[in-house]
Amino acid sequence: MEIKDRVTIEKPAAMKSSAKSRNKNKYCHFHEDIGHDSNDCYSLKRLLDRVADKGVLKSYILKSKVTLKTNPIQSSKKDAQPASSSDTDKELIYTIAGGFAEGGPTIRGTKDHVRRLDISSVDEGQASIDTFPKVVITKKDRGKVRRPHDDPIVMEYKVANQNKVGQILIDTESSSDIISYKCLSKLKYKPDSIHKVSHTLVGFGGGVVHPVGLIDLPIRLGEKGDGRHMVVQFSVVEELIAYNLILGRPTLNESKAVIIPSLMLLKFEKDDGFIGSLNGD
Confidence (pLDDT) at 271: 92
Tell me: do 157 and 239 sit in the same domain.
Answer: yes
Residue 225 lies in a domain: yes
Q: Specify whether 112 is located in the same domain as 194.
A: no
Q: Is residue 214 part of a domain?
A: yes
% residues pLDDT > 90 (the chain): 12
Residues 104 and 183 in one domain: no
Residue scoring higher pLDDT (82 or 38): 38
pTM of the model: 0.56
One domain, residues 112 and 180: no
Higher-confidence position of 9 and 246: 246
Give the integer Cα–Cα distance in Å for 249 and 257: 9
- 150 and 216, same domain (yes or no): yes
Distance from the Cα of residue 16 to its chain's centroid:
34
Asked, for residue 84, whether it belongs to a domain, the answer is no
Residues whose CB is less than 8 angstroms from the CB of residue 271 and which lie 6 or more positions away in sequence, other chains included: 227, 228, 229
Instruction: Give me the domain span that covers residue 253.
Output: 139-279
146 and 269 share a domain?
A: yes
In terms of domains, do 162 and 196 share one? yes
145 vs 233, higher pLDDT: 233
pLDDT of residue 130: 67
Whether 203 and 258 have beta carbons less than 8 Å apart is answered as: no
169, pLDDT greater than 70 = yes
**Over pLDDT 70: what percentage of the chain?**
72
Instruction: List beta partners, residue 229.
Output: 220
56, 174: one domain = no
**Residue 66: predicted pLDDT:** 44
Name which of 223, 243, 102 is nearest 183 in CA terms.
Answer: 243
For residue 64, pLDDT over 70 is answered with no
In a domain, 48, yes or no: yes
Please indicate, yes or no, whether residues 101 and 175 belong to a single structural domain of this protein: no
Q: Secondary structure of the chain: what % helix, strand, coil (to 5)?
A: 25, 25, 50
pLDDT number for residue 76: 46
Does the pLDDT at position 233 exceed 80? Answer: yes
Query: Residues 67-71: what's their mean pLDDT?
Result: 44
Q: What's the pLDDT score for residue 55? A: 77
Q: Are residues 98 and 170 in the same domain?
A: no
Letter string b/e over residues 249-275, b meaning 16 or more CB atoms within 10 A of that residue's CB: bbbbeebbbbebeebbbbbbbbeeeee
Residue 45 lies in a domain: yes
Within this chain, do residues 59 and 154 fall inside the same structural domain, yes or no? no
**Domain end among 85, 119, 153:** 119
> Helical H runs in 28-131?
42-53, 72-80, 107-116, 126-129
The most confident of the ranges 123-127, 157-161, 202-206, 262-266 is: 262-266
| 98 and 228 co-located in one domain | no
What rounded mean pLDDT belongs to the chain?
76
- Which residues face 26 on adjacent strands? none
Structural domain contains residue 132: no
Considering only CA atoms, which of 175, 190, 188 is closest in space to residue 247? Answer: 175
For residue 247, pLDDT over 80 is answered with: yes
Q: Which of 237, 254, 255 is nearest to 246 (CA)?
A: 237
Number of structural domains in the chain: 2
Which contacts of 144-149 are long-range, i.e. CB under 8 A and separated by 24 or more positions?
A: 144/279, 145/262, 145/263, 145/264, 145/265, 145/279, 145/280, 147/262, 147/263, 148/262, 149/262
Query: What does the longest C-alpha to C-alpha distance in the chain come to?
Result: 72
